[in-house]
Amino acid sequence: MRAILTYHSIDDSGSPISVPPAVFAEHVQWMAGGHVRVLPLVDLLGLDPDDPADSIAITFDDGFRNFRDAAAALLAARLPVTLFVVTGHVGGSNTWGGRTEPGIPTLPLLTWAELERLAAEGVTIAAHTRTHPRLTTLSAESIEEEMDGCVRELGTRPTHRSFCVSVRRGERRRRRPGRPAIQGGGHDAIRAARAR
Ligand SMILES: [Zn+2]
């Protein structure tokens, strides 16, 4: 078994992007319990296909400020974590495109200073687009700008990129050639991660 556990926000709102703090604490306890190998994302994706050990990687999308507590718990348990940041919203909130989304709490995002601190403490910071647009509505050129602009603003070249997009029913089937392939499913947010 191999899996990428993707979290967004650790809060008690009950929203589709939220995991309650008490439940997350149970996850950390289990992940630290030796039941499964927990690897940095880059190592998980680079594993030998024949490697038999059950392995997971832990990631967080969007860069909510409540990640600080989650990161502290993970790092204290020596569990590696990758945080995907929306560079155009650092220090702001998850009002992507200036809009709130029904059922999704509007929450503060980490500042650059906080991101630097987290990186120094051992969190891997990676790119999650500049403005968190609905990628399937963009031209190939705009998608590249969202990706490359995010990497540029991070001032680094992350080994992996991640794109979290809201996908309405049937949208994948309407995808035009040249648009990015989207894998996975669940809730209204899915991820396509690719090795570079
Ligand atoms: Zn996202």
What pLDDT, in 10s, does the model give residues 75-111? 999 999 999 999 999 999 999 999 999 999 999 999 9
7's CB contacts (< 8 A; 6+ apart) are 19, 24, 58, 59, 60, 61, 70
**C-alpha 8 to ligand 1 mean position (Å):** 7
**C-alpha 62 to ligand 1 mean position (Å):** 5
Residue in the structure block whose two tokens are 């980490």: 110
Question: Residue 188's pLDDT is what?
Answer: 26
**C-alpha 99 to ligand 1 mean position (Å):** 14
pTM, to two decimals: 0.81
pLDDT tens digit string along 115-140? 999 999 999 999 899 999 988 888 99
| Per-residue tokens: 143 | 């998608």
**C-alpha 104 to ligand 1 mean position (Å):** 12
| Per-residue tokens: 44 | 């998980």
CA distance linking residue 58 with residue 136, whole number of Å: 25
Task: Report whether pLDDT(191) > 80.
Answer: no
CA distance linking residue 121 with residue 112, whole number of Å: 14
Question: Residue 189's pLDDT is what?
Answer: 29
The confidence band for 152, taking pLDDT boundaries of 50, 70 and 90, is confident
Task: Report whether pLDDT(174) > 90.
Answer: no
**C-alpha 50 to ligand 1 mean position (Å):** 31
Question: Residue 79's pLDDT is what?
Answer: 98
Question: Residue 196's pLDDT is what?
Answer: 31
pLDDT tens digit string along 24-75? 999 999 999 999 999 999 999 999 989 999 999 999 999 999 999 999 999 9
**C-alpha 26 to ligand 1 mean position (Å):** 24
**C-alpha 63 to ligand 1 mean position (Å):** 9
Q: Judging by DSSP bridges, how do beta strands 9-10 and 18-19 pair with one another?
A: parallel
Task: Report whether pLDDT(167) > 70.
Answer: no
Task: Report whether pLDDT(145) > 80.
Answer: yes
Collapsing DSSP to helix, strand or coil, 95 comes out as coil
Average pLDDT, the chain: 83
CA 133 to chain centre: 14
Task: Report whether pLDDT(153) > 80.
Answer: yes
Q: Judging by DSSP bridges, how do beta strands 55-62 and 81-85 pair with one another?
A: parallel
2-195 is classed CATH 3.50.30.30:
no
Q: For ligand 1, an ion, list residues with CB under 5 A.
A: 61-62, 164
